[in-house]
Structure 1
Amino acid sequence: MSVTTSNSYNTLSTLTAGGKSYRFHSLQAFEQNSGLDISRLPYSLKILLENLLRREDGVVVKREDIEAVARWDASAEPDKELQFMPARILLQDFTGVPAVADLAAMRSALARLGGSPSHINPMQPADLIIDHSVQVDLYGTTGALWGNSSIEFERNHERYQFLRWGQSAFRNFSVVPPATGICHQVNLEYLSQVAMVAKTGEEDWVFPDTLVGTDSHTTMINGLGVVGWGVGGIEAEAAMLGQPCSMLIPQVVGFRLTGALAPGATATDLVLTVTQMLRKKGVVGKFVEFFGPGAASLNIADRATIGNMAPEYGATIGVFPVDGQTTEYLRLTGRGDIVPLVEAYYQQQKLWHDVNQPDPSYSDILELDLAQVEPSLAGPMRPMDRVNLKEVRGSFRKQLITLRSHDAARVDKETMSRWLGEGGAPVTVAPELMEHPDKSLGALGHCVPVRQPDGTAYNLCHGSVVIAAITSCTNTSNPSVMIGAGLLARNAVRRGLQVRPWVKTSLAPGSKVVTDYLAAAGLTPYLEALRFHLVGYGCTTCIGNSGPLAEHISGAVVKGDLAVAAVLSGNRNFEGRINSHVRANYLASPPLVVAYALAGNVNIDLTLDAIGTDPNGDPVYLKDIWPNEQEVAQLVQSCVHAESFSRNYADVFQGDEQWMALQVPTGELYQWQEGSSYIKEPPFFADLTRGPQPVQDVKEARVLALLGDSITTDHISPAGSIAKDSPAGRYLISLGIQPKEFNSYGARRGNHEVMVRGTFANTRIRNQLVPGVEGGVTKCFVGNGKGNGQMSIFDAAEKYRAAGVPLIVIAGKEYGTGSSRDWAAKGTKLLGVRAVIAESFERIHRSNLVGMGVLPLQFLPGENPATLRLDGTESFDLEGLSEVAPGQQLQVNYRNVDGAQGSFTVQVRIDTTNELDYYRHGGILPFVLRQFLK
């Protein structure tokens, strides 16, 4: 822990709690001694202020930095840089494996350069939770958990051996083994202490728990009052190695909540509403704080649901201050022993929230009456696209028309208007089971006959729900919605309903506590009766680990070019993410996931249409089986208790027999295996010199990809399954690996050869250099000014590399939206991309690009490739790169194919002096490594 050496404001104080004394830096003393009134400073900025007071050294943290936070101007545009040092780091295994690989590679590089490898260790506590590797291969059976776990170990034993080596080789580094839970739920239920304690010499210090994590949904911990957010693996590695997180003091938006949720509305509906409101408002790069009587009444599970989706509404954090709900939750989750310290510290620091105290000053304020929240879903391809439950049918039909525009053109206006309308006769059976689909719609009403191996026959249609998954930290951390799902299942079974045979069902909770309370409530048998068997404890469908669809389902989808659907209780539904065969993906509460599995299609209105028929042939409606709020509350009260949390987390780092049986390498240097297809030494330090070389200008660069708006990190970073005919697939086959052994891109993140071949390889990405085509393809202009024929982006990059041609990427708004995937930046770097020019960047990806030495440049307001008439066939020059400064403007010169020249001005999106250092060193990790050499 960093301790102040300056103490300019004489804030060093002593606190007594639980019979023990602790040293801390007092915000009250700062206010008194500085003469600055911080009483109306937002909660999150007070946390940053304490962080600076504790670390003031006159070099990294100066008096003026501290006063800049204390004098925060709510209306000012962010322009003051500060250095924030989190108390700890959280990693999941997809991003954690390459992080550990980079640390191991840094040890190897340090040894080659004559340094001491043992100096490379996390300097802040770092916890890695293995939660992203389990895949839903088996489902709908009591053996699914054991079977999927066994397959997981078979696929990933080499990665797990590597992580166990890291656990023993590095100090301050712990690993939570597989089949424990999702990192954010484990963080919420166990890891977070709210008030951190650390020993320096003979003294115990207390300070706020803060963190950064290598998953964008690290913000789930904001529900507990902990300030933390997602960063790329690159930035997290630097923080682990003692580098502060450079940031501009943000604007803080207040979100006032009043009232209470109406019957039928869930925390999921609330967060989808909040997400839509904040996305519309525009809060990218800002902090959001929730306050008001409605916020005070929300329990921690509901708050965590809202905090979790901060990346979806674009904010850096979405935080609730610490209050009585916080300490009540700590007691509930078996951490009652830390409550006296939490209460004493936060009250002493005036960080404890009281609804009777004056509201903080905010940059802007939004307001929501909770009673106005309606049952909702979000989709079919973005989490901010909320639709009321009654409007889902219309939402899907509009998406279908977009996808099938050539067929829609043949449908008369009257039929189309009727089809798009929300009126009409109610549907009493799933469209798949109708004898005569609406033939007037032609291909828009298309169905494909299917016969399963067991003889079951039905039609598979547009809108058929082929995946229904209760998954993701967002909702499985919330007992109310999980018990609600179990009660809806019970009510459905009692009415004789069954899940449709074409639906792949799964239950993947975020911790073992969930299955404890579902069993205690007597709801497990009903979920299993509807084939919602436990498939694993981890992040599954939400990150693309939904597993393959049955062959008779995927075959029918391909044969009929069907737009089928997934309904999941997750936080991400971007194109191509959930399953490559699924075109429409909707986020929903766990009860609605069960409801859509029963209905079997999103092309119906669940507020009007029957969800199914009972054994007597009578229609059953959603309102007939919807859980009673009072019963939900009673079961939460009686079945969720501290003993379950204490028992399940008692030996959280130990692991099961499979984990303990792994053969683990030893030694401070990792012995890289030449033949490994999972773990290879990263190339980022291969030719590292003791000092940085001047940044070279970019001359005659070509465009590797010309992209539109909302290009997500899912579009850029390798994710999901590996196609056998893709560059990555061909590479693995060349190693003698069969397609059935490919595993996923996520599992092979420790092998840069696989990952660079999968960068920009998403099946739904659209590169405007090859209009009308989906997938990771481009044109190459080596040796042909008009562009060679269509080829993969990786193959084109290799041709450019061989010819010595630098590359750029051009894109529209919100470039890099989505998960904090470090390989979106690493892969970009390894493809030879020197700069990305976009209309705007999502926060984490912009930072990651800088962290890899790739220059982010932003078009000036009102300009974009269309207004500048850029079509991607030009060559570009970027000059003066060795002299760039944060926030400056830069001229870009270009030449058309016919030789005509032009130029335009861009904003350099290196935002801080720290980032400038990283860029000049070729990335944040070379910068850190060179500091160790000093």
Structure 2
Amino acid sequence: MSQDSFSTRRQLSVDGRSLTYFSLPALGERFDIGKLPYSMKILLENLLRHEDGGVTVGKEHIEAVAKWDAKAEPDTEIAFMPARVVLQDFTGVPCVVDLAAMRDAVSRLGGSPKQINPLIPSELVIDHSVQVDVFGRADALDLNGKIEFERNMERYSFLRWGQKAFDNFKVVPPNTGIVHQVNLENLARVVVERDVDGESLAFPDTVFGTDSHTTMINGIGVLGWGVGGIEAEAAMLGQPSSMLIPQVVGFKLLGQLPEGTTATDLVLTVTQMLRKLGVVGKFVEFFGDGLQHLPLADRATIANMAPEYGATCGIFPIDAESLNYLRLSGRSASQIALVEAYAKAQGLWHEPGAPEASYSTTLELDLGDVKPSLAGPKRPQDRVLLVDVKQNYRDNLGPLTVNRDKRSPDVSAFVAEGGGAAVGNESLHKGIADISINQQNVRLKDGAVVIAAITSCTNTSNPAVMLGAGLLARNAARLGLKAKPWVKTSLGPGSLVVTDYLRKAGVLADLEQLGFFVVGYGCTTCIGNSGPLPTEVSAGIATGDLVVASVLSGNRNFEGRVHPEVKMNYLASPPLVVAYAIAGTVDIDLSRDPLGQSTDGKDVFLRDIWPSNKEIGDVISATVGPELFAQNYADVFKGDTRWNTIASPEGESFAWESSSTYIKNPPYFDGMSMSVGTIDDIHGARVLGLFGDSITTDHISPAGNIKKDSPAGRFLIERGVQPADFNSYGSRRGNDDVMVRGTFANIRIKNLMFGGEEGGNTLYFKADTAPEKLSIYDAAMKYKADGVPLVVLAGKEYGTGSSRDWAAKGTNLLGVKAVIAESFERIHRSNLVGMGVLPLLFNDGENAQTLGLDGSETFDVTGLRDGESKRATVTAHRKDGSTVSFEVKVMLLTPKEVEYFRHGGILHYVLRQLAAKKAA
């Protein structure tokens, strides 16, 4: 229990029971905390509750937050302890693999396997493994589920072992829902009641998640964010997370959304505004009178996309709407009473018209100014007004077609000639392909929408856009409109509740009539599990060298993520996904051009079938109720027959199978002793990759398709795995042999050592021989055999995207000692530190290009002084004997990170701490 230096322990009476809490108003008698942002108050309570005399939290840390200077640059370290951890299976399986490996390692160091055990509630939701193999038919859900279990039996058996072996660890089985929606609808406590040292304690629900979109839970007032699996494991094992006291950006919302706009349009607008401002490493907090017009689901949609706008979190306060949602989602009356009483007692309750907090900076948006929008074709922050999509597509087409050998170099001239879906001069027989599909002869053209997917946590949690899509489908079906035959349609609801209310509203059948059958309960297309395109469509794309598109209601559309054959990807609301499926192309202005013709031959426009806000609201009121949540979450951890008949091993330690290509004991702890290392200078390093801006974690560690001629594909084939059974990189994250071969293997990554050529290759340099072009993995292994360390050079926003720890693990296992970039995304920088890879920052205005670096040099990094220095010197040695020296910032941001790095990473630090306790 906390030392409570400021005497803030108080009693709270709720429903006749007395709970202890650490009172912020009591602290407010000593410090002026009245204008602290909501999120800072959560951090402050966390410190009060964990004060331990300075071992982790001291009086000075509490005072630093209580006296928070909104304008100050972050420079004060504090420790944050989340109340729980939530995981999904792509990132969760490697977490459990690491925990199993740590049980073996701690035993070798003299400890006990039982020391490796989650100390806080840790819940894993299996939602990333289902693929859209079957679509457009009533049995798609069942068949995809069957294929999912066949593919992932080893992984699921392993997770069932973990569920039995570890305390405080639960698994939500497949076909339940998407992790963030399940978290919002069921797992979130908002306020926690927990027995601590024999005392009933109440405190805010806070969470770390191994998925960057954990921030969705911020919509209901729960402070949480995505972390890499490495940091999550440390939290599970009781380690505090080191962070700098952040700046907080206030985002003021006014008014209400106009007719014809959706929460998706709003969040794409917010994302664009915040990306432009620059909020990496900052908290974002939403306030203003516009909150009273935002349903909880809309708030969750905005909070979900915090990774896309770059913030650590995007949080909303607790208010009456929060309680309404807790009632709607079937939470108990006693839990709702606790949330209300605690929030009001702590000054965490929001009322319309309340005084505004102090913020580091503020933005303002009148919701009435929001317009229908999409984002694309390759970044979620690149918002495009619906009226501009056709031109956006055409503007982006040119750069993607310059290598068509039979096309005129004046691509823009051909673009101008295009009409409807036709782009390009058909007489050249490029940009078109005639195919036969579903007993129809059709012409595929550039801009064809080949994937239309209602998917992902961002929007499938929101009844307004889901029922809006259903009502639009009903209106379209009544007029005889259909999806184009080349469009792969799919509906991946975020939870079983969604299917129930779609069915109850009578619109599920209408969606099915347009091809949108339920394909599974998981991330599907948004994570890259779009499955194969129909053979005829795939062949047509290859024949015509087509630039085709996807439209999905997801949050990510990075290059190579959705499908390897689809070069343009647009994020859109679920109703617009249906509309584009009907249109069959993005080379159309849906605000002006007809979607198609009705059965009586009349043009039908989008405005003719778009449901009104009132119509959607009336259907929500009539169909979405607590009973749907209660029945679907009654046995959320139980699972179906498929899940419960999976055989799994017993025992405290996992029995590793050497033949497994899914689960393997990783090499991170091989040869580890109790001795702590030092942070040494780097000498003679070669460049593994020279990259530009916006290299995402998808580029570094792909989640989707494994090519059979890639290093990972060849490895699997050598072990008897047929290409049809490759599954995905994401599903094989429990095997380091596969994943290290997949690092930097994205088909769209561009190593600038080749002038922009796509693919995961590099140049291997050896003295007195010509450089050799190899896959990045093969080159890295040669360098490792040569005893040569490696570095990566990159531009801005390195590591944008998902919180996958494999982007750092793979980098480490390839032998990369440092990454030098113009800027890092928050989670990936932290992951690199956690895996012992040094992040270094170019000075402002400098990068590889300005310094004349082409990747052929050797590099020295000096002046690290065992991590004590904040600056280092990099010297690049050219073959002609000349050198280039430049200064970089060492991105070890806190003393704790320096300590982790000396240990070789955060998990090594934790292991040594635990082993030392056992030895003592």
2:687 match: secondary structure: strand
Give the CA deviation at 1:405: 3.3
Residue equivalent to 1:913: 895
State the distance in 1 between where 2:114 and 2:431 align. 63
With 44-53 and 682-691 compared, the bigger mean Cα shift is at 682-691
State the distance in 2 between where 1:413 and 1:84 align. 54
Deviations 1:699-756 (A, max 9, x none): 1000000000000000001320111000000000010111111111111100000000
Give the CA deviation at 1:882: 5.2
1:905 match: secondary structure: strand
Equivalences for residues 141-540 of structure 1 within 5 A: 141-337=137-333, 338-405=335-402, 410=408, 415=413, 418=416, 431=421, 439=425, 446-452=431-437, 454-540=438-524
State the distance in 1 between where 2:415 and 2:525 align. 35
State the distance in 2 between where 1:399 and 1:885 align. 47
The residue type paired with residue 449 of structure 1 is: D
Residue equivalent to 2:802: 819
Task: Answer yes or no: is the 8 Å Cα contact 1:415–1:440 preserved in 2.
Answer: no
Q: Structure 1 residues 419, 27: CA separation in 2 closer, same or farther (over 3 Å shift)?
A: farther
Deviations 1:797-849 (A, max 9, x none): 01101111100000000000001010000000000000000000000000000
Deviations 1:47-101 (A, max 9, x none): 0000000011112101110011011111111111100000000100000000000
Task: Answer yes or no: is the 8 Å Cα contact 1:835–1:856 preserved in 2.
Answer: yes
Task: Answer yes or no: is the 8 Å Cα contact 1:718–1:823 preserved in 2.
Answer: no
Residue equivalent to 2:708: 724
Deviations 1:197-237 (A, max 9, x none): 10023321100000110000000000001100001111111
State the distance in 2 between where 1:368 and 1:414 align. 36
Does residue 1:637 correspond to 2:632, yes or no? Answer: no
Deviations 1:3-23 (A, max 9, x none): 31x211000110001111100
The residue type paired with residue 408 of structure 2 is: R
Does residue 1:689 correspond to 2:662, yes or no? Answer: no
The match for 2:635 among 647, 651, 655 is: 651
The match for 2:852 among 851, 860, 869 is: 869
Give the CA deviation at 1:416: 6.2
Residue equivalent to 2:656: 672
Residue equivalent to 1:424: none
Give the CA deviation at 1:881: 3.8
State the distance in 2 between where 1:643 and 1:357 align. 34
Q: Structure 1 residues 232, 360: CA separation in 2 closer, same or farther (over 3 Å shift)?
A: same
Residue equivalent to 1:423: none
The residue type paired with residue 912 of structure 1 is: T
Aligned length, in residue pairs: 913
The residue type paired with residue 121 of structure 2 is: P
The match for 1:20 among 4, 14, 17 is: 17
The residue type paired with residue 839 of structure 1 is: E
Return 5+ residue gaps in structure 1 as ranges.
421-426
Residue equivalent to 1:615: 599
Deviations 1:473-504 (A, max 9, x none): 00000000000000000000000011100000
State the distance in 2 between where 1:511 and 1:834 align. 42
Deviations 1:223-257 (A, max 9, x none): 00110000111111111111111111111000000
State the distance in 2 between where 1:747 and 1:708 align. 28
Give the CA deviation at 1:451: 1.3
State the distance in 2 between where 1:21 and 1:685 align. 46
Does residue 1:40 correspond to 2:30, yes or no? Answer: no
Residue equivalent to 1:902: 884
Task: Answer yes or no: is the 8 Å Cα contact 2:551–2:580 preserved in 1.
Answer: yes
1:853 match: secondary structure: coil
1:779 match: secondary structure: strand
Sequence identity percentage: 60
State the distance in 2 between where 1:134 and 1:412 align. 43
State the distance in 2 between where 1:629 and 1:799 align. 61
2:252 match: secondary structure: strand
2:568 match: secondary structure: strand
Task: Answer yes or no: is the 8 Å Cα contact 2:691–2:752 preserved in 1.
Answer: yes
Give the CA deviation at 1:585: 0.2
Task: Answer yes or no: is the 8 Å Cα contact 2:864–2:871 preserved in 1.
Answer: no
Deviations 1:434-478 (A, max 9, x none): xxx7638967x72111112x4311111110000000000000000
Return 5+ residue gaps in structure 2 as ranges.
none
Task: Answer yes or no: is the 8 Å Cα contact 2:465–2:574 preserved in 1.
Answer: yes
State the distance in 2 between where 1:254 and 1:167 align. 41
Task: Answer yes or no: is the 8 Å Cα contact 1:728–1:757 preserved in 2.
Answer: yes
2:379 match: secondary structure: coil
Q: Structure 1 length normalisation: TM-score?
A: 0.96
State the distance in 2 between where 1:51 and 1:859 align. 35
State the distance in 2 between where 1:731 and 1:517 align. 46
Does residue 1:111 correspond to 2:93, yes or no? Answer: no
State the distance in 1 between where 2:174 and 2:518 align. 15
Task: Answer yes or no: is the 8 Å Cα contact 2:680–2:866 preserved in 1.
Answer: no
State the distance in 1 between where 2:775 and 2:403 align. 27
State the distance in 2 between where 1:440 and 1:692 align. 67
Q: Structure 2 length normalisation: TM-score?
A: 0.98
The residue type paired with residue 590 of structure 2 is: L
Does residue 1:661 correspond to 2:658, yes or no? Answer: no
Task: Answer yes or no: is the 8 Å Cα contact 1:24–1:207 preserved in 2.
Answer: yes
Give the CA deviation at 1:112: 1.8
The residue type paired with residue 47 of structure 1 is: I
Task: Answer yes or no: is the 8 Å Cα contact 2:161–2:649 preserved in 1.
Answer: yes
The residue type paired with residue 820 of structure 1 is: S
State the distance in 2 between where 1:785 and 1:367 align. 59
The residue type paired with residue 448 of structure 1 is: A
Give the CA deviation at 1:178: 0.5
State the distance in 2 between where 1:825 and 1:412 align. 42
The match for 1:712 among 693, 696, 715 is: 696
Give the CA deviation at 1:880: 4.2
State the distance in 1 between where 2:410 and 2:805 align. 48
Give the CA deviation at 1:900: 1.2
2:841 match: secondary structure: strand
Task: Answer yes or no: is the 8 Å Cα contact 1:786–1:897 preserved in 2.
Answer: no
2:225 match: secondary structure: strand
Task: Answer yes or no: is the 8 Å Cα contact 1:569–1:587 preserved in 2.
Answer: yes
State the distance in 1 between where 2:482 and 2:179 align. 33
Q: Structure 1 residues 283, 785: CA separation in 2 closer, same or farther (over 3 Å shift)?
A: farther
Q: Structure 1 residues 60, 822: CA separation in 2 closer, same or farther (over 3 Å shift)?
A: same
With 696-705 and 673-682 compared, the bigger mean Cα shift is at 696-705
State the distance in 2 between where 1:732 and 1:344 align. 56
State the distance in 2 between where 1:708 and 1:772 align. 9
Residue equivalent to 2:683: 699
State the distance in 1 between where 2:456 and 2:478 align. 28
State the distance in 2 between where 1:870 and 1:231 align. 33
The match for 2:862 among 871, 875, 879 is: 879
1:723 match: secondary structure: coil
The residue type paired with residue 52 of structure 2 is: D
State the distance in 2 between where 1:828 and 1:881 align. 21
State the distance in 1 between where 2:670 and 2:162 align. 21
State the distance in 2 between where 1:485 and 1:679 align. 40
Task: Answer yes or no: is the 8 Å Cα contact 2:180–2:216 preserved in 1.
Answer: yes
Q: Structure 1 residues 668, 406: CA separation in 2 closer, same or farther (over 3 Å shift)?
A: closer
